[in-house]
Structure 1
Amino acid sequence: MSSVKERFLRYVQVETTSCEANECCPSTPGQKVLGEMLVKEMQAMGVSGARMDEHGYVYGFIPAKGKTDAPAIGLIAHMDTSDAVPGKTVPQVIEHYDGGVIRLKNGVEISGFSFLESLKGQDLIVTSGDSVLGADDKAGVAEIMTLCEKMLAPDAPDHGKICVAFTPDEEIGRGADLFDIPGFGAEFAYTVDGGALGELEYECFNAASCKVTVKGVNIHPGSAKNQMINASLVAMEFAGMLPPWERPEHTEGYEGFYHLMEMSGNEEAAELKYILRDHDIRKLDARKQMMNTACEVLNKKYGDGTVLVELRDSYRNMKEIVEQHPEILERAKAAFLANGVEPIVKAIRGGTDGAQLSFRGLPCPNLSTGGYNFHGRKELVPVQAMEKMTEVLVTLVSVK
């Protein structure tokens, strides 16, 4: 039997960074490499119907055992990792962490985080400091795969049908786009894609993206007076019209934000890429209107067609769907408590595949993986948290 640690260490070494610029699905070939690996492992352990479709989605199920009227429960994790930092991971294991500063191989230090004291004595998996670790969400993948092996053992507890799926391109907002809900076969599901052990989330942001394109007029600077429209400066002017206190670095809890993710340009053309987030859909609509208003003001100043704003909705707050099914939240809370873990019910300052799936008819709150500092070089996950989360999943799908 493979341990969750062994699985995780294997999976993170497959580079699966997704790429928003690529329209294909999956957006990068490494995701199918990992998908093929998972299908082979699932087939070897006896998971029924293990397969990967043409889009890189991996599916399988474990038939019910014993009591047959138990619900069909789904477990979902995503295979891709964020492109915020390089994705070619070389994992390192720190055994019996002493609670002090963690010095990674390239000199990066992990220190000053309040949660570190609580991890003293545990075995931590980190990176060399040159890449993302990929606990988001390969920790979830490893936990679900280990759950499958446990539930296929002769001494496994009785359970209903267990449906598992691993999705591509969640980090670029496309993870649920081509998900086969009827073929998946679950009555409800949980994404295993959260952070610290015990997290249970059924509220997320409402989300939109915004591309701002600026068309300038480039004239030689020696004769530019009253003629040049510097696209880069107009783009900066647009950015300056948004409230600076409503950026991610100044917000928390239920506070939404405007986040400038990327900018490029010269005198002739410039581009800004934003994401907009808010738990309240009315406030998100107001943010979208702010982008349109800024566009209108600048076009009035510099001429029609100077600035173009393109808005695209990404996902909605799954709260309005999941709260209609309180029994699935209570089931998760009970599973945590049965394994000595206090549930931490909190709103996600982000989103998961479960948000889109909930609105497509598959209620799908989010569970912890045990990891910390996602999307960065200082990402880490305790081995003991992954082991405990696997036990929680066993309880979650078992007949009570």
Structure 2
Amino acid sequence: MQHIIDRFISYVTIDTESDASSETTPSTAKQWDLANKLVEELKAIGMQDVTIDKKAYIMATLPSNVLHEVPTIGFISHFDTTPDFTGFNVKPQIVPNYDGKDIVLNAEQNIILSPNYFKDLLLYKGQTLITTDGTTLLGADDKAGITEIITAMEFLIKNPEIKHGKIRVGFTPDEEIGRGAHHFDVEKFGAEWAYTMDGSQIGELEYENFNAAGAKIIFKGKSVHPGYAKGKMINSMLIANDFISELPSDETPETTKGYEGFFHVHHLTGSIEETVLELIIRDHNKKKFEKRKELIEKITRKINKKFAKQFGADIVTAEIKDQYYNMKEKVTPVKHIVDIAEKAMREIGIKPLIKPIRGGTDGSQLSYKGLPCPNIFAGGHNFHGKYEYVPVESMQKAVEVIVKIAELTAIGDYVKTEETAKNKK
């Protein structure tokens, strides 16, 4: 267990925050600090064909140790952390034998990690937790995943009696800003399928995610002295407010769960003359996803019609861009890859939690690039903020899942799983 703790801490104490405003890949130079460390570590544990390209995408190989033909599988994680909360100067705190009570993250600032608010903490009573010091995020998203993959590969190398086929591992930059798979070379990776180790709670197994789009909406206005503005001034901020009020008030992130989609207004800046509204659109159902985009366009047309005579041109412009799609469409035809992960969890005593991802993952884009890629738990909770934590035992179990998936694939048990499923039909 200490080996996992030490490895994880060595990763999270390196700042790898990504930056959506940057046009480079990786988006921040500091991501190279961990990327280069990972390359050396992969070589040190005995991985082969370790490469890093000019955009910091890392790949490595664990050769097969069986004589019969086995599908090449992969495990993937990202090394950047979200720009939503600072990842600079992370100071992890170790909480052994958690007693189920409040954890003081920062006494000076009275920052408390409490099971009264974060009820999932009680699942890990008696376990060892790694938390923040209340001033940064932790970085378990997704340095826990990297820790688990490297530890699993090291275990397989040291225990050659465990049979496995060829395994490829990949680590990516910029996942947190939606670009993790943009420059991932699926052909070079050469796996038939892969798993991202990027989920949360122990047992999570996901192969459905949102269809996603982003919208940037620009509102124009006319500024006139307020004392003489009647019938002349057009305040773009008020028009933006009218636009938002046309969106369903009960379809926001804070009012939805499970398969329910939403509109999320995340940036609004403006003046009388111009206001810019940015929002994201999410839905698991493709038809509902398309209808959400149509609603944005419908509201835009309605406002333009209202101001056509007074403004003399379109007063609102909406730019909608698709971001990623539900991986279910690509994974379902090869459902046995999910069955293998589910079987692996059950064999090591974990109850699988198969549910949709209320977000995106590298696996979504990779699935559409030809690499079917379900998502498996990495163990962390409360990502992207100061209350983030990870149970060490969950990371250990994730290592065991990786090893078991490799073993099941090598003995061909996934074929039995497929046949069993067909017979049930």
**TM-score normalised to structure 2 length:** 0.91
Q: Which one is further off, 387-396 or 293-302?
A: 293-302
Superposition CA RMSD, Å: 1.4
Query: Which residue of 327, 345, 365 maps to 1:318?
Result: 327
**Equivalent residue for 2:351?**
342
Alignment partners' CA distance in 1, 2:271 and 2:161:
63
Q: How does 1:139-158 map to 2 (within 5 A)?
A: 139-158=144-163
Q: Which one is further off, 295-304 or 377-386?
A: 295-304
**Equivalent residue for 1:240?**
245
1:12 aligns with 2:12: yes
Determine if contact 1:2/1:146 at 8 Å carries over to the other structure.
no
**Equivalent residue for 1:328?**
337
Which digits, 9 at most, give the CA deviation of each residue in 1:302-343, with x for residues without a partner? 333321111010111111111111211111011111111111
CA spacing shift, 1:56–1:2, aligned 2, 3 Å: farther
Alignment partners' CA distance in 1, 2:229 and 2:190:
65
Alignment partners' CA distance in 2, 1:156 and 1:93:
34
Q: Per-residue deviation at 1:360?
A: 1.4
Alignment partners' CA distance in 2, 1:298 and 1:7:
55
Q: Which one is further off, 251-260 or 29-38?
A: 29-38
Alignment partners' CA distance in 2, 1:128 and 1:223:
55
Determine if contact 2:25/2:56 at 8 Å carries over to the other structure.
yes
Determine if contact 2:65/2:160 at 8 Å carries over to the other structure.
no
Determine if contact 1:5/1:386 at 8 Å carries over to the other structure.
no
Q: Per-residue deviation at 1:127?
A: 0.8
Determine if contact 2:16/2:28 at 8 Å carries over to the other structure.
yes
**Equivalent residue for 1:37?**
37
**Equivalent residue for 1:193?**
198
Determine if contact 2:128/2:393 at 8 Å carries over to the other structure.
yes
Alignment partners' CA distance in 2, 1:7 and 1:298:
55
Gapped runs of 5+ residues in structure 2? 412-425
**Equivalent residue for 1:90?**
91
**TM-score normalised to structure 1 length:** 0.97
Determine if contact 1:74/1:162 at 8 Å carries over to the other structure.
yes
Alignment partners' CA distance in 1, 2:147 and 2:235:
50
Alignment partners' CA distance in 1, 2:47 and 2:360:
29
CA spacing shift, 1:387–1:154, aligned 2, 3 Å: closer
CA spacing shift, 1:245–1:154, aligned 2, 3 Å: closer
Letter in 1 for 2:70: A
**Equivalent residue for 1:266?**
271
Alignment partners' CA distance in 2, 1:92 and 1:300:
57
Q: Per-residue deviation at 1:33?
A: 1.5
Q: Which one is further off, 52-61 or 80-89?
A: 80-89
Letter in 1 for 2:14: V
Moved over 4 A (4+): none
**Equivalent residue for 2:76?**
76
SS at match of 2:317: strand
1:371 aligns with 2:380: yes
Which digits, 9 at most, give the CA deviation of each residue in 1:155-203, with x for residues without a partner? 4512101100011111111111110011111111001000111111011
Alignment partners' CA distance in 1, 2:390 and 2:98:
12
1:385 aligns with 2:394: yes
Letter in 1 for 2:83: D
SS at match of 1:270: strand
SS at match of 2:127: coil
Alignment partners' CA distance in 2, 1:87 and 1:392:
28
Q: Per-residue deviation at 1:100?
A: 0.9
Alignment partners' CA distance in 1, 2:219 and 2:146:
42
1:354 aligns with 2:359: no
Letter in 2 for 1:317: N
1:56 aligns with 2:56: yes
SS at match of 2:207: strand
Q: How does 1:287-306 map to 2 (within 5 A)?
A: 287-303=292-308, 304-306=313-315
Q: Per-residue deviation at 1:154?
A: 4.7
Q: Per-residue deviation at 1:18?
A: 1.5
1:282 aligns with 2:287: yes
Q: Per-residue deviation at 1:2?
A: 7.7
Letter in 2 for 1:394: V
Which digits, 9 at most, give the CA deviation of each residue in 1:230-266, with x for residues without a partner? 1222111111110110001000111000001111111
**Equivalent residue for 2:403?**
394
Letter in 1 for 2:133: S
Alignment partners' CA distance in 2, 1:156 and 1:28:
41
Which digits, 9 at most, give the CA deviation of each residue in 1:265-300, with x for residues without a partner? 111221111111000011011111111111111112
Percentage identity across paired residues of the two chains:
45
Query: Which residue of 103, 110, 114 maps to 2:113?
Result: 110
Between Structure 1 and Structure 2, whose CA radius of gyration is higher? Answer: 2
Gapped runs of 5+ residues in structure 1? none
